[in-house]
Amino acid sequence: MTNGLDDVVAAETVLSDVDGLGGRLTIRGHALPELAGRWKYAQVVRLLLDGFFEDLPGDTDLVQKIGQARGDVFVRLQPTLASLASLDIYSAMRAGIALLPDGDNLTDALRLITAPAVLTPALLRIKRGSPAIAPDPHADHAGDMLRMLNGCVPSPALAKALDTYLVTVCDHGLNASTFATRVVASTQAGLTSAVLAGLGALKGPLHGGAPGPVIEMLDAIEAHGDAAGWLRAEIAHGERIMGFGHRIYRVRDPRADVLKAVVRQLGGEGETGRRLAFAEKVEQAALDVLRVAKPLRSIQTNVEFYTALLLEAAGFPKEAFSNVFAAGRVAGWIAHAREQQTTGRLIRPQSRYVGPMPDLVA
């Protein structure tokens, strides 16, 4: 038995494969660099859902249905937004999603796939005292998310950057949140129940909760002035360096390079470029410090380090970074949930009891 299920194969999937030694991510037969920056998020949603819904339309009609689903989510949840906004932004999104029907048809799936992208900007605006902006069903999905956040149509470069991010994080093998999603789907519960399980697992800092703390780390190091000294002190106190390390990758997470290239394209001479140059120095210092502190383990940069820079550059506050992660990963969760529902069995492992036994009465 392993504490953490390392190397346990708990599902067969046609969806994605993570090669931890080669540093490669394959999504339905496509290497990540083939998709990121080349395919739109809606096309990748279609790729993931292919075979799991009999009425899944072609690319053009699916784009239209995704737009309609954004509108449907907004209309359904608008009356609850003000009360949800009293919660922290992640809990508010999760609570809103819990109000959606718990079915398992394509309409249910598309509502769930669009819900984080609709709820996050709406809730952020209400928290700031501004009215929520309704989706534009005809707009591009990532661009519409930014428009609903900022109230203006984003530059094509920024919309493409967010779209590339959503594609980059859309699926990633049997990570903790996807496993949680599959466990719930294996009971034949509905897709909303499965997605709520994924959202619960994604929130933690060892998984999708890391990019907010990456920003806090960069700010703290900037104020401190000595990256290596700050990082060494953290490790000496038993802290983990956020944005580094992975259960599967023993080499650099391929998603880190994809996202770093996107930030570089956005960067230029402005604040994003300055922040990127600083983050690159911190990254090198962290890799050097980790190599010395943990010589027996190869701890490399993971997806969350450059996620933090990209989402900061896109104008999201750090407390909403996990929401945006969910806006991408939800497509993978839905595909895995459907794969589990249609091809899998109830997931029910065993535990080994190591507690006391009842006294045996003679």
The one catalytic residue among 141, 172, 207, 246: 246
Q: Is residue 304 among the annotated active site residues? A: yes
Q: Is 207 in the site for ligand ACO (CB under 6 A)?
A: yes
Taking the C-alpha atoms of residue 224 and residue 231, their distance in angstroms, rounded to an integer, is: 11
Among 10, 31, 75, 206, binds ligand ACO (CB under 6 A): 206
**C-alpha separations of 78 from 75, 124, 195, 210, 301 in Å:** 5, 13, 20, 29, 39
What residues numbered 265-324 form the site for ligand ACO, per CB under 6 A?
A: 294, 297, 299, 302-304
Q: Is 247 in the site for ligand ACO (CB under 6 A)?
A: yes
Which residue, 97 or 210, has its beta carbon nearer to ligand ACO? 210
- Give the count of beta carbons closer than 10 Å to the beta carbon of residue 348: 8
Q: Is 334 helix (H, G, I), strand (E, B) or coil?
A: helix
**8-state DSSP, 17:** E
Among 40, 94, 182, 246, binds ligand ACO (CB under 6 A): 246
Q: Is 242 in the site for ligand ACO (CB under 6 A)?
A: yes
What residues numbered 111-170 form the site for ligand ACO, per CB under 6 A?
A: none
Which residue, 191 or 242, has its beta carbon nearer to ligand ACO? 242
Residues forming a β-bridge with 24: 19
The one catalytic residue among 304, 312, 336, 339: 304
Nearest to 93 by CA among 116, 113, 76, 71: 116
The span of 45-53, 133-141, 199-207, 267-275 binding ligand ACO (CB under 6 A) equals 199-207
Q: What is the largest CA-CA distance in the chain?
A: 82
- Which helix (H) or strand (E) is 255 found in, with range? helix 254-267
Contact 227, 285 (CB under 8 A): yes
Q: Is 76 in the site for ligand ACO (CB under 6 A)?
A: no
Residues noted as catalytic: 246, 304
The site for ligand ACO (CB under 6 A) is made up of: 4, 205-208, 210, 235, 240-247, 294, 297, 299, 302-304
